[in-house]
Each structure stands twice: as C-alpha cells, then as structure tokens.
C-alpha cells in the first residue's frame, strides 16, 4: 500500500529546517577548520584590564575572568571539540563496525563472545568508563580520542552485526559462497558496501554524543587541559561567575547545544534519506 507524500507545506518546512541546520553545521565546520581567519584575537591572550566585560562592540561575546575574548575562545574551541569528535567517531565506527560485521557473518561462538563484550561495555555508563580510562592511562589528545572510542564502539558493533546477520542470508552472498569466494572477499565486497548507509547515519548521530562526552570530561578536568580552549573547560571556568558574568557559561553552552542539535537533526535527515525501509517521500 502506497503512502501518500507529505503535504507541500510540510516539505517546505522540512526544507527550511534542513537549510538552517546545514547553515549551523557549515558555520561550525568553518570555525573548526579556519579558526585563525575567523577568531578576532588570540584565544589565550590575557588582558587583566578587560576582565569580565559583557558583550560589546569591542568583544562581541564578552570576556572571561582573565580578560580573554570569548568569541575567539569559542571559535578555537570548536576545532578541539569537533576534531576529537570526528576522530573518535571514525575510530569507534571502523573498529566497532568491522567487529560487528565479523561477529554477525561468522556467527556461532565468535558472535556470542563479541556480543557479550558489547553488552558489558554498554552496561557501563560512558562517562564513568571514560573517567576510569583517563585516570588510568593519563591525559593526552590521543588518549582522549582513544578513551572516547572505547566508550562508544559497542553501539556500532551491535548495529552492524544485526545488518550482517540479515545480509549473510541474501542470495548474492550465498551465490558468492557457491562461487568459491573467500570470507574476507565476501565481507569487503558484499557486506561492507551494504552497511555503509547505516554506518553514515549512526556516525552522524554519534558525533553529538561524543561532543557531549568530551565536554563532560573537560568540564571535570579530565579532558582538554587549560589554557587550550575547549567548550567544556570554558563552561567549567564560568560556573563560579553565573550571577555576575553569565556569558562565560552561556556562550560555550549555547554553541555546544547548537552543535549537538545540528548533528542529531542531520542524522535524522540522513536516516530518512538513506534507509531503504523508509516509505516517506522526499
């Protein structure tokens, strides 16, 4: 039974929403890639004569307790947050995705062991796991990316495993087996390409989760270390000035919210667009 396409007005509203979200996402990406061109000043430049200045023509988003320009710190902080999120999602996605595909295609003991490991990881709160790992191996940018990847690989593994379980029963996979194709060749040429769409959607949705987790660790002092600008450390710096200088927390908090919201909405849009089971007309 065919599903009627959404009304024209609904499509227009959806297009406007996607345009706004896309504009926010592109702005954040531009900030992360070209901060030296966008930031008006050095994010770590201290000016004790300009401490706790409210937003003005000189400092569009105000200054913090050390007189550092908030706009510059937000712009440079986007590079740290988005770079960490992108690398962590890529590492967790590739590692967890291949792990899940192998478990689903091979089945049996390998599948059981892999899924029990994923269950153990999912049973542990991501923040608690990340806190323990950072405390154990110490802080560096590489360690932070590794910790965030270890805290999120299981989500990719479970989703790709369910896809592989379905795909291994499809005719083209069975024919490849009959033709004598090896397991690595079947996985790389028949399983992986059919999981790419799901991987892209899941990775987009996971970026928002990683951004929040990185900001949480930085807020607690176990993520990006001062004086490097990071949205989480900026929020932590401003928590003691909420009554007198609200913008120190509000500015990075708002940017953080917009980044996560745009990632989630783009992920939803990609899911609707790429999922072969969606009947919604575009």
Q: Are 153 and 95 in contact (CB under 8 A)?
A: yes
Q: Are 209 and 88 in contact (CB under 8 A)?
A: no
Q: Which of 145, 19, 18, 21 is nearest to 82 (CA)?
A: 145
In a domain, 160, yes or no: yes
Claim to verify: residue 261 and residue 203 sit in the same structural domain: yes
In a domain, 52, yes or no: no
Claim to verify: residue 105 and residue 28 sit in the same structural domain: no
Claim to verify: residue 114 and residue 228 sit in the same structural domain: yes
In a domain, 25, yes or no: yes
Per-residue confidence (pLDDT) for residue 134, from 0 to 100: 79
In a domain, 281, yes or no: yes
In a domain, 53, yes or no: no
Q: Which residue has 């003005």 as its token pair?
A: 56
Alpha carbon 180 to chain centroid, angstroms? 40
Claim to verify: residue 267 and residue 212 sit in the same structural domain: yes
Q: Which of 74, 35, 42 is nearest to 238 (CA)?
A: 74
Per-residue confidence (pLDDT) for residue 275, from 0 to 100: 59
Q: Which residue has 């490097």 as its token pair?
A: 228
Residue 18 CB contacts under 8 Å (≥ 6 apart), including other chains: 265, 269
In a domain, 64, yes or no: no
Per-residue confidence (pLDDT) for residue 260, from 0 to 100: 92
Claim to verify: residue 104 and residue 217 sit in the same structural domain: yes
Claim to verify: residue 143 and residue 232 sit in the same structural domain: yes
pTM of the full predicted structure?
A: 0.84
Task: Residue 200: give the domain boundaries.
Answer: 84-282
Claim to verify: residue 14 and residue 90 sit in the same structural domain: no
Per-residue confidence (pLDDT) for residue 280, from 0 to 100: 41
In a domain, 74, yes or no: no
Claim to verify: residue 261 and residue 125 sit in the same structural domain: yes
Claim to verify: residue 98 and residue 234 sit in the same structural domain: yes
Which CATH number is 231's domain given? 1.10.3720.10
Claim to verify: residue 30 and residue 127 sit in the same structural domain: no
Per-residue confidence (pLDDT) for residue 125, from 0 to 100: 82
Per-residue confidence (pLDDT) for residue 181, from 0 to 100: 84
Intervals of the chain under pLDDT 50: 1-3, 277-282
Claim to verify: residue 13 and residue 100 sit in the same structural domain: no
Mean pLDDT value across the chain: 85
Q: Are 120 and 99 in contact (CB under 8 A)?
A: no
Claim to verify: residue 208 and residue 267 sit in the same structural domain: yes
- The number of domains in the chain is 2
In a domain, 60, yes or no: no
């Amino acid at each position: 039974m065919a599903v009627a396409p959404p009304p024209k007005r609904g499509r227009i509203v959806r297009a406007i929403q996607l345009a706004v979200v896309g504009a926010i996402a592109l702005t954040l990406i531009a900030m992360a890639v070209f901060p030296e061109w966008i930031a008006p000043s050095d994010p770590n430049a201290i000016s004790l004569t300009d401490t706790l200045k409210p937003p003005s023509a000189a400092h569009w988003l105000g200054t913090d307790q050390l007189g550092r320009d908030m706009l510059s710190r937000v712009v440079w902080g986007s590079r740290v947050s988005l770079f960490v999120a992108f690398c962590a999602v890529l590492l967790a996605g590739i590692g967890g995705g291949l792990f899940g595909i192998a478990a689903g295609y091979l089945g049996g003991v390998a599948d059981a062991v892999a899924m029990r490991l994923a269950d153990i990881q999912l049973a542990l709160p991501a923040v608690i796991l990340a806190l323990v790992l950072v405390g154990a191996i110490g802080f560096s940018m590489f360690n932070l990316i590794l910790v965030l990847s270890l805290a999120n690989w299981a989500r990719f593994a479970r989703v790709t495993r369910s896809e592989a379980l379905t795909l291994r029963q499809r005719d083209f996979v069975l024919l490849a087996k009959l033709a004598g194709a090896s397991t690595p060749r079947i996985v790389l040429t028949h399983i992986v390409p059919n999981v790419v769409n799901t991987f892209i959607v899941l990775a987009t949705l996971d970026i928002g989760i990683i951004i929040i987790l990185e900001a949480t660790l930085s807020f607690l002092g176990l993520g990006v270390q001062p004086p490097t600008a990071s949205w989480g450390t900026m929020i932590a710096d401003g928590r003691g000035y909420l009554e007198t200088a609200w913008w120190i927390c509000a500015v990075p908090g708002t940017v953080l919210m917009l980044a996560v919201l745009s990632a989630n909405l783009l992920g939803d849009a990609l899911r609707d667009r790429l999922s072969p089971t969606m009947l919604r007309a575009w």
